[in-house]
Structure 1
Amino acid sequence: MMKTNDTVNWALVGTGNIVKKFLIGLRAAEGARAAAVVSRSQDTADRFAREFNIPRGYGSYEEMLADPEIDAVYIGTPHSTHRDYAVKAFEAKKAVLCEKPVCINAGEMAEIIASAKSNGVFFMEAMWTRFLPAVAKVRSWLEDGLIGDVKMAEACFGFTVPWNPEGRLLNINLGGGALLDAGVYPISFASMVFGGGKPETVSGLLSFGETGVDEQFTGTISYGGHRMAAVSAAIRTTMVSDAWIYGTLGRIHLPDFVFGRSSSLIIDGKYIQRCEPDFISNGYNYEVEEVQRCLRAGQTESPVMPPEESLRIMETMDAVRSRWDFRYPFE
C-alpha cells in the first residue's frame, strides 16, 4: 500500500485532446506526477513529452508497462482500444483510470473487471463529472433525503461536432456515435441518482447519420418503484445540457451538468439553496485525487464510481443498441 505522502507516477496513453485536458487536471492534483506518455509512434511520444515537459516518451506500450516507476495508467485512446490496453496494464500490476466509455460493450467490460480483480489491481472509469464538487454536493443532498423520495431524473448532453467522417465521433470503425460518447454522461448521471442499481427496463431511439453511426439518442430507463429517468444525447445537435432530479419534497437542478460548476436545491414552498463551490483547474483533477486516495488506502475500486456500476451502465447502452440491431464492424 502506498504511503499518504507518496507521489503517484502516472503514464498517459495517447496524445489527443482528451489526454491534454487530463494532463492539466493531473498537474493540479496534489501528489500526482506525469512521468511518461505513450504513443504508437516514438516521434509523437517524444514530441508530446518535450512540449509538455514529461520525463519519458514511449513508442511501445509494453516498454512503458515494464517501467517500475509507473504506478497508474490513464488510458485516453479511442474506446475501441481500451480493453486490450487495460488488460495488459492489469497484468503488469498497474492501476488503471480508463476514459469513458470504458469499452464498446458489456462483454468487454466484464473482461476488464475480471482481469482487474484477478490481478488485484485498481480500476475505475474516468467519469470525471461524478467527482466535481457541485455533483458531490448533489449526492449528499440525495443521501440526506432532502427532496424526499426520488421519482424522476432528466439529463441531456448534446453538441455539434465538426463534420469529419474519419474522425473518432463519426467513424463507425472507431466506435463512434452519440450513445457511447455523449449518452454515457446522462446514463451515468441517472445511475448515480438511483444508487447504481440495475435498471428494470430500458428503451431508446437512435437516429443514424450518413457515416452509419447514431447521431442522436433519446431513452427512458426504469429503476422500479416508480423511479425513472429520461436521457438524451447528440453529437450533431447542440442541446441545453442540463440535469434535473425530482423528488416528493423538491427538486435539484444542475445547469450544464457535465461540467458541473453549480447545483441548486429547491424545497417546494420553503427555500432554494444554491451551491457554487470552488472549482480548481479544469475539473479533471478531482478524479485523479480519487484514484490516488484509493491507492493510498489500498483499495482496488472507488465507492463513488465502482466497476460493477460501470458494467451496468454499459449493459444499459447495449440494451438500447440491441433494439436497433446496431453493432460495430469489429464486434
Structure 2
Amino acid sequence: MEAVWTRFFPLVKSVQQDLVSGVIGDIKRVYAEFGEPYAHPIASLPLTHRMLSPALAGGTLHDLFPYPLFWALVTLYHLPTNELTPPSHIAASSTLHPKTSVDIQTTAILSFSKIGAQAILSSSLEVPTPRDQVVLIQGTKGDMVVPLIPPGRPARYYVRVRKEEKRNAEYDETVKTFDIPGHSLFWEADECARCLARGQIESSRMPLDESILVMEILDEIRR
C-alpha cells in the first residue's frame, strides 16, 4: 500500500456506497485537483529541493497528483458497472521547470469509456488549492461535493439531488460529517495490521494490481 492514506477513511467508503446506490444517477464526470506551492515565486526554491530535483523524483506528478488521481479511481474505476476497467484514453499537458524539467503543473483528462465518464485532474506547485475547492462528482441526477481543505483529510461531503432535470435546477442537499480524531493515519495503519494478522501480502482496499495501474497512468501522463 502506498501512502495515500485518504483511501482508508470511512468517509471515502461512504462516498463509494452512495455512488453505488445511484442517489446521484449514473456518474459522468469527476473534477479533482491539488495545488501546494513550496515557495513563491517557485524560482526562489533551490534546484536541489526535493520538489525540483529529478534525482529526488521531483515535480507534482509523484507528490501531489496521486491525490486527485486517487479520487478518479475510487469514484470511477471502482464503480461496479466499470468492472475495474482502466481508463481507455489519457490526455495530459504539463508545464516543466525551465532548469530541471520536472513538472511544476500538470492537468490530465482520463476517459472511462465503459461507463461514458471522464475525470479532470490537476496538480500545481505554482498555485495553491483554494480554501473552497472541492472534489466534484457529477451524475445524471445530481452531484456529490467533497470539500478539500485540508486536501488529504476531508471530514464531510454533500449529496445534492436535483429537483428537476434542467439547467440551474434547485436541489435537495444532505451533508454527511465524519469525526476525524488525531491525524488519521491510523486508518491505513489499521488496515496494514489486519493484513499482517491474516497473513495477507496485499490489501483488498489497495491491491498490488491497482498500485501498478497508478504507475502506468502516471507513466502515460509523463509521456
Interval containing the TM-score (normalised by the shorter chain): 0.7 to 0.9
Q: Is the contact made by 1:135 and 1:263 (CA closer than 8 Å) also made in structure 2?
A: no
2:42 corresponds to 1:155: no
Deviation at 1:258, TM superposition (A): 2.4
Distance in structure 2 (CA, Å) of the matches to 1:242 and 1:169: 24
Which shows bigger deviation, 170-179 or 249-258? 249-258
Deviation at 1:271, TM superposition (A): 2.5
Do 2:4 and 2:66's aligned partners in 1 also have CA atoms closer than 8 Å?
no
1:216 CA drift (Å): 0.2
Q: Indicate whether 1:131 and 2:8 are aligned.
A: yes
Q: Distance in 2 between matches of 1:141 and 1:298?
A: 31
Q: Which runs of 5+ in 2 are unaligned?
A: 40-44, 79-83, 164-170
Is structure 2 residue 91 aligned with structure 1 residue 214? no
Greater helix fraction, Structure 1 or Structure 2: 1
Q: Kindly report which structure 2 residues correspond to 1:93-132, keeping only aligned pairs within 5 A, or say none.
A: 124-132=1-9
What's the counterpart of residue 310 of structure 1? Answer: 211
Question: What is aligned with 2:144?
Answer: 252
Residue identity matched to 2:19: L
The residue aligned with 1:272 is: 173
Q: Among residues 281, 285, 308, which one is paired with 2:186 in the alignment?
A: 285
Whichever residue aligns with residue 93 of structure 2, its letter is L
User: Does 2:174 correspond to 1:263?
Assistant: no
Which residues in structure 2 correspond to 1:60-79 (within 5 Å)? none
Which residue number in structure 1 is paired with residue 197 of structure 2?
A: 296
Instruction: Answer yes or no: is the 8 Å Cα contact 1:250–1:266 preserved in 2.
Output: yes
Deviation at 1:182, TM superposition (A): 0.6
CA RMSD of the aligned region, Å? Answer: 1.5
User: What is the CA-CA distance between 1:247 and the residue it aligns to?
Assistant: 0.8
Find the aligned partners of 2:22 and 2:89 in 1 and give their Cα distance: 25
Superposed displacement of residue 154, structure 1: 0.5
* Residue segments in structure 1 that go unaligned for 5+ positions in a row: 1-123, 323-331
Cα deviation, residue 157, structure 1: 0.3
- Aligned runs of 1:167-178 on 2, under 5 Å? 167-178=49-60
- Between the aligned partners of 1:296 and 1:263, the Cα distance in structure 2 is 33
CA offsets per residue over residues 146-185 of structure 1, 9 Å max, x none?
2121111010100111323212111111111011211111
- In structure 2, the residue matched to 1:62 is none
Contact 2:24 2:140 (C-alpha < 8 Å) held by counterparts:
yes
Structure 1 equivalent of residue 17 of structure 2 = 140
Task: Count residues in correspondence.
Answer: 199
The code of the aligned residue for 2:172 comes to Y
**Alignment partner of 2:95: what SS?**
strand
Q: CA-to-partner distance for each residue in 1:95-152, whole Å, 9 max, x for gaps?
A: xxxxxxxxxxxxxxxxxxxxxxxxxxxxx22210111232222112112222121111
Q: Does 1:236 align with 2:126?
A: yes
- Relative CO higher for 1 or 2, CA cutoff 8 Å, sep ≥ 6? 2
Distance 1:125 1:197 in 2: 21
Q: Please say if residues 191 and 197 of structure 1, whose CA atoms lie closer than 8 Å, have aligned partners that are also in contact.
A: no
Matched residues in 2 for 1:205 and 1:198: separation? 20
Shift of residue 198, structure 1, vs aligned partner: 0.8
| Deviating 4+ runs (over 4 angstroms) | none
TM value normalised by structure 1:
0.57
For residue 273 of structure 1, give the secondary structure of its aligned residue in structure 2.
Answer: strand
Q: Are 1:197 and 2:85 counterparts?
A: yes
Structure ID, larger Rg = 1
1:266 maps to a residue whose letter is R
Letter in 1 for 2:155: R
Please state whether the residue corresponding to 1:125 is helix, strand or coil.
coil
* SS of equivalent to 1:220: strand
Secondary structure in 2 matching 1:203: strand
